[in-house]
Amino acid sequence: GQQLNQSPQSMFIQEGEDVSMNCTSSSIFNTWLWYKQDPGEGPVLLIALYKAGELTSNGRLTAQFGITRKDSFLNISASIPSDVGIYFCAGKGTMGFGNEKLTFGTGTRLTIIP
Amino acid sequence: KAGVTQTPRYLIKTRGQQVTLSCSPISGHRSVSWYQQTPGQGLQFLFEYFSETQRNKGNFPGRFSGRQFSNSRSEMNVSTLELGDSALYLCASSRPGQGGTGANVLTFGAGSRLTVL
């Protein structure tokens, strides 16, 4: 199935460091979403982006909808232990209003080194 | 308000058996989507139901099917199970009109982890 290219695949950082990850697609998306998944749980929505160029923050998280509509970025500032998990980007295409199909990125696994 | 509820959370089946998974969406959410998550393939879209009708379908064989009831609850069924069907099956619901520009944000359940032996 189709997937977005998400990088990096994994990150090992120290508490307090900033984190950046991104997703790119060969297709144009109308919506970009960023989810976080903890072990044994379903993905939880972090940020939703609806317009090209849009920059949206949620606490220490900031995400941007790329101008080309083919990419998106997520930044986490001053990481804390609870940031550990897998982060997924997801895009929703241009198949019309109400189409629910999301295409997911391959995920970025964030680990915080003590 | 209660989130998306999936049952069972864990189950073990053997090859050739069939399985039915259940999903209760958030109250007021009429769209239910199903995704399969595996380490190798990531999150793959199975299908989406809205008002008891399948509105979108992913690239899965006919062994995978689903339905939605009048109360928006949904079930998915996998027949003639294969080892490769072992996965976390995620259900997500959304309410039409939520969010900007008509985009409907999906809220996921915790998933049903299926192991096929």
Calculate what percentage of chain B has a pLDDT beyond 70: 91
Mind listing the pLDDT tens digit for each residue in B45-71?
Answer: 999 999 899 988 899 999 999 999 999
Yes or no: say if B17 and B81 are a contact pair by the CB < 8 Å rule: yes
CA dihedral of A2, B11, B6, B17, whole degrees rounded to 10? 70
Instruction: Fill in the DSSP letter of residue A69.
Output: S
Yes or no: say if A64 and A73 are a contact pair by the CB < 8 Å rule: yes
Mind listing the pLDDT tens digit for each residue in B31-50?
Answer: 999 999 998 888 999 999 99
Residue B102 has pLDDT above 50, yes or no: no
Mind listing the pLDDT tens digit for each residue in A62-101?
Answer: 999 999 999 999 999 999 999 999 999 999 876 554 556 7
Three-state SS string across A74-102, please? EEECCCCHHHCEEEEEEEECCCCCCCCCC
| Cα–Cα separations (whole angstroms), residue B73 to A98, B32, B93 | 18, 8, 10
Average pLDDT over residues B106-113: 94
- Partners of residue A48 in chain B, C-beta under 8 Å: 99-100, 103, 105
Pairwise pLDDT comparison (A60 vs A113), residue with the higher score = A60
Mutation site, A101, A104, A109, interface B, largest B CB count within 10 A: A101
